[in-house]
Amino acid sequence: MAHAAQVGLQDATSPIMEELISFHDHALMIIFLISFLVLYALFLTLTTKLTNTNITDAQEMETVWTILPAIILVLIALPSLRILYLTDEINDPSFTIKAIGHQWYWAYEYTDYGGLIFNSYMLPPLFLEPGDLRLLEVDNRVVLPIEAPVRMMITSQDVLHSWTVPSLGLKTDAIPGRLNQATFTATRPGVYYGQCSEICGANHSFMPIVLELIPLKIFEMGPVFAL
């Protein structure tokens, strides 16, 4: 869960998010180095009046500043492509949940439990309990197990939506007439929040997503207990 004045990303709850945070730090260090080098060169240009005649026509230097950016791009592209392919892998999911976006709420279907279907609406401020988060709490949470691969089938009933949970590294568009899928494996229990990340109308800001992740043994008792 994000907090006030937070600068970094949310704590990872899945291996994919851990990879994304690692790649973020990797790319950020490269950006810092490039920015420092460029600012240092600009500073020298503005403060030095001397001209070195040996670099006015230096083929070797031109070769270096042409090849070096290409090497840097490769160092960024390779881990990025690796993570991209990891996010698309479907490794024999244990559970399948279908999420359907509506204006302006989410509907969920547990396809492995006899077609259990329920709607998830944002709780109005008057119904919040002490400790609940305004604009993020819902009446029916999605209960899922940890340490088990889960497949989310995501679509929309009306307009474009986006099913997003930052702690899990998930952001998948919900498109009418199309069924997108995403997989994740949660590593620790807890309650995790997300929101629709696609502008979908007047109440776009009021489509929260709440996942309650629990141990597998408790989940096997049946997800209906949390409704």
Record the pTM: 0.81
Residues of the chain with CATH 1.10.287.90: 13-86
Distance CA 152, CA 174 (A): 11
Query: Which of 1.10.287.90, 3.20.20.70, 2.40.110.10, 3.40.50.720 is the CATH number of 13-86?
Result: 1.10.287.90
Q: Report the sign of the C-alpha dihedral through residues 167, 168, 169, 172, in that order.
A: negative
Q: What's domain 93-219's architecture?
A: Sandwich (2.60)
pLDDT of 221 over the 90 cut: no
Residues of the chain with CATH 2.60.40.420: 93-219
pLDDT tens digit sequence for 104-124: 899 999 888 777 899 999 999
pLDDT tens digit sequence for 84-105: 888 888 778 888 999 999 988 9
pLDDT tens digit sequence for 37-87: 999 988 887 887 766 656 566 678 788 888 999 999 999 999 999 998 888
Q: Which two tokens stand for residue 217?
A: 């043994």
Distance CA 1, CA 138 (A): 15
Dihedral class, residue 147 (left if φ above 0, else alpha if ψ from -120 to 50, else beta): left
pLDDT of residue 180: 92
pLDDT of residue 225: 46
Count of C-beta atoms within a 10 Å radius of residue 213:
23
